[in-house]
């Protein structure tokens, strides 16, 4: 069995009914801050007894309250968990949760009426309320919660309910039960009792104990005094394991016991990993329990597992959690803001939560990705590209040049909106370099690229920027011979595009969240140069930064001597073509040129016009109207 669905209404940020669908194994909740990821975790903790932190108590802040003027808190909240894929044994064990259905349902309703610090709660199983609810059935769901700001060292320290003591009790449960039936001591108790006897017989230990006893008798007299003994530990199993300490050695090689150190000398990151490892060990031990006594479902909730971990350890941890979840029948739900973690798992493990007045959870596996696209995204969704999962808006571009220049172009487009609203960062928009024309794969997350309304999409405005890419040459007859002549398009002489991504534009334009925009002429740099008076500035940037003094730099100088106001579109096309040929060479490269152009634009001492299609993409991703269209 596994937790298939959670429904929440009136709780925290979820005013109206909010539904999130989980899957077996590892579930990774992503989204911007305030989207509701922690709210989902808290809702689950409200239902189940968290064995690590205890049951979460209800407070007045748990009742949803909108930000509208004079808004009142919700009169109640309701949480419903649905478990699917139950075995026959699990259906019998959770019969009161199933009723006549194949799935088990657990419901909680809490009224916003406080009496002596408590709120009225009603918990029941199944689709219909019943008079009585067996609280013991909750013990069949083992839920463990790890908060984002966890004190791993404290949790691993010796003492009552320490991690080590819980693991030892789980490991030795069968032995302890057998010893209790035969009224014998556990082997560990026998060894500690023998050691205590030997310790008490040591001369120095006896002297110390005698001094304490005599001092106490001198102060209180024989009738009021007590007897004492010095022992290593009480010879009781619980007290023995509660006194155990976990020590560490800085690598996995063998070492002498004297070389191990206390955890307070260890790093926060490794202590965090040790803490998680101890929890997984306990859950794995439970996997071997017999049918009559086993936990039916194990649910591990971890907020921000990336805490104190460098990227390589984050990746290793996530891979291990995924493997344990798959092989040891543990359902893991984590929340994260780490692009490292979100890129380390399959897109099918991602559940995107979008906040706002009506939060929405969309499992990426329901976005209609073809298997080929899913595999492609899994391999390509690196740390930079996975940033799209945490953004308010996304612009997908073909290459590094667009990724470098676009933020500066956006400042020009958004300049009139004022400080705090004049950069892509202000709108939470990420620019993602696809290193190619892979829009069909990535944009399926945000819209139906084939027009078939069969799946869900991430509710984030996504704009794609692609080139028209006409053929490089065409055949022209010169003196009875066909000669290849370079195509240099301009507004009076357009050429058909060969970019296959252009065919996606009409279909994507009908979607709610996606748009794909293309230049009218050739490529990103070419279209920039052909817009308004940009050509002169772009030639100047190339001339000022050309690495050698030779014929190329001289050619740029000759072009800069032209009367740019008097140039025809065909003449501008000649110059723009030469510029593109030069910067797309090994002497400079498009990426370096884009950086140089962006540096020039950042200075703010020049006039530069942004092509219309780029303006449209920026405004779409920022969810604002184009200038002059309002």
3-class SS string, 251-307: CCCCCCHHHCEEHHHCCHHHHHHHHHHHHHHHHHHHCCCCCCCCCCEEEEEEECCCC
Instruction: Name all domains of the chain by residue range, CATH numbers in brackets.
Output: 2-157+269-354 (3.40.50.300), 163-244 (no CATH), 382-621 (no CATH)
Rounded alpha-carbon distances, angstroms, from residue 571 to 335, 471, 482, 577: 56, 20, 24, 10
Look at residue 90 and give its three-state secondary structure. helix
Burial label, 251 (beta-carbon count in 10 A; 0-12, 13-18, 19+)? exposed
- For residues 630 and 619, give the distance between their C-alpha atoms in angstroms, rounded to a whole number: 12
Give the H/E segment covering residue 8: strand 2-9
Q: What is the pLDDT of residue 333?
A: 96
Mean pLDDT split into 10-residue runs, the chain, 630 residues? 96 95 95 92 91 80 90 94 94 89 93 87 86 83 87 81 84 88 90 87 89 89 85 83 87 87 88 86 71 75 89 89 86 93 91 91 92 89 84 95 96 94 95 94 92 84 96 82 88 93 95 95 96 96 92 93 94 95 89 95 94 97 77
Contact between residue 412 and residue 610 where contact means Cβ atoms under 8 Å apart = yes
pLDDT tens figures, 155-213: 888 877 788 888 888 888 888 889 999 989 899 888 988 888 888 888 998 899 899 98
Task: Measure the CA dihedral 130/132/136/140, to 10°.
Answer: 0
pTM: predicted TM-score of the whole model, two decimal places: 0.86
Torsion of CA 110, 114, 119, 120, to 10 degrees: -70
Q: What is the pLDDT of residue 291?
A: 46
How open is the CA angle 184-189-191, to the nearest 5 degrees?
115
State the DSSP code for 492.
Answer: T
Residue 215 Cα distances to 99, 202, 219, 231, angstroms: 69, 20, 6, 19
Give the pLDDT of residue 153: 83
Is beta strand 429-433 parallel, antiparallel or unpaired with respect to 393-397? parallel
What confidence score (pLDDT) does residue 292 get?
Answer: 45
Radius of gyration in angstroms for the set of CA atoms belonging to the chain, rounded to a whole number: 34
For 48-71, write each residue's pLDDT tens digit.
988 777 677 899 999 999 988 889
Task: State the pLDDT at residue 61.
Answer: 92
């Amino acid at each position: 069995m596994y937790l298939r669905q959670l429904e929440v209404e009136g709780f925290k940020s979820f005013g109206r009914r909010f539904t999130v669908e989980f899957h077996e194994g590892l579930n990774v909740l992503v989204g911007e801050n305030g989207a509701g990821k922690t709210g989902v975790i808290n809702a689950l903790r409200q239902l189940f007894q968290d064995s690590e932190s205890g049951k979460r108590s209800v407070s007045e802040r748990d009742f949803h309250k909108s930000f509208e003027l004079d808004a009142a808190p919700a009169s109640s909240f309701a949480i419903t968990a649905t478990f699917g894929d139950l075995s026959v044994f699990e259906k019998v064990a959770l019969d009161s949760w199933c009723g006549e259905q194949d799935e088990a349902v657990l419901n909680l309703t809490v009224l916003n009426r406080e009496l002596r610090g408590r709120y009225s709660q009603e918990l029941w199983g199944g689709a219909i309320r019943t008079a009585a609810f067996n609280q013991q059935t909750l013990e069949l769901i083992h839920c463990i919660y790890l908060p984002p700001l966890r004190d791993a060292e404290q949790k691993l320290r010796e003492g009552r309910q320490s991690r080590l003591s819980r693991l030892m009790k789980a490991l030795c449960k069968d032995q302890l039960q057998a010893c209790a039936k035969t009224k014998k001591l556990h082997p560990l108790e026998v060894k500690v009792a023998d050691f205590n006897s030997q310790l008490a017989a040591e001369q120095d230990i006896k002297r110390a104990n005698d001094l304490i006893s005599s001092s106490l008798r001198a102060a209180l007299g024989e009738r009021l005094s007590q007897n004492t003994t010095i022992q290593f530990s009480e010879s009781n199993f619980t007290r023995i394991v509660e006194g155990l300490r976990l020590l560490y050695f800085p690598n996995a090689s063998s070492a002498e016991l004297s070389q191990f150190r206390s955890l307070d000398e260890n790093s926060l990151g490794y202590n965090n990993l040790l803490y998680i490892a101890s929890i997984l060990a306990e859950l794995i031990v439970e996997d071997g329990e017999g049918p009559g006594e086993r936990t039916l479902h194990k649910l591990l909730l971890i907020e921000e597992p990336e805490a104190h971990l460098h990227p390589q350890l984050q990746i290793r941890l996530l891979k291990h959690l995924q493997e344990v979840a798959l092989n040891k029948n543990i359902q893991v739900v984590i929340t994260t803001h780490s692009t490292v973690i979100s890129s380390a798992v399959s897109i099918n493990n991602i559940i995107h939560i979008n906040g706002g007045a009506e939060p929405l959870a969309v499992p990426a596996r329901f976005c209609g990705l073809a298997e080929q696209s899913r595999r492609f995204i899994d391999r390509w969704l690196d740390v930079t590209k996975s940033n799209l999962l945490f953004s308010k808006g996304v612009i997908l571009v073909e290459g590094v040049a667009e990724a470098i220049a676009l933020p500066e172009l956006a400042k020009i487009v958004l300049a009139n909106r004022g400080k705090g609203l004049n950069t892509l960062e202000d709108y939470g928009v990420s620019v993602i370099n696809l290193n190619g024309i892979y829009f069909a794969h990535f944009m399926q997350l945000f819209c139906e690229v084939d027009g078939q309304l069969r799946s869900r999409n991430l509710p984030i405005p996504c704009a794609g920027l692609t080139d028209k890419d006409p053929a490089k040459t065409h055949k022209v007859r010169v003196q009875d011979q066909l000669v290849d002549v370079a195509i240099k398009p301009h507004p009076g002489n357009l050429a058909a595009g060969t970019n296959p991504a252009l065919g996606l534009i009409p279909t994507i334009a009908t979607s709610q969240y996606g748009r794909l925009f293309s230049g009218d002429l050739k490529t990103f740099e070419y279209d920039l140069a052909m817009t308004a008076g940009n050509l002169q500035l772009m030639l100047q940037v190339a001339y000022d930064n050309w690495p050698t003094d030779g014929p190329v730099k001289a050619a740029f100088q000759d072009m800069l001597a032209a009367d740019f106001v008097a140039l025809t579109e065909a003449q501008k096309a000649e110059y723009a073509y030469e510029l593109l040929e030069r910067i797309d060479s090994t002497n400079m490269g498009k990426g370096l040129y884009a950086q140089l152009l962006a540096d020039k634009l950042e200075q703010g001492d020049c006039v530069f016009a942004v092509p219309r299609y780029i303006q449209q993409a920026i405004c779409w991703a920022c969810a604002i109207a184009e200038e002059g269209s309002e």
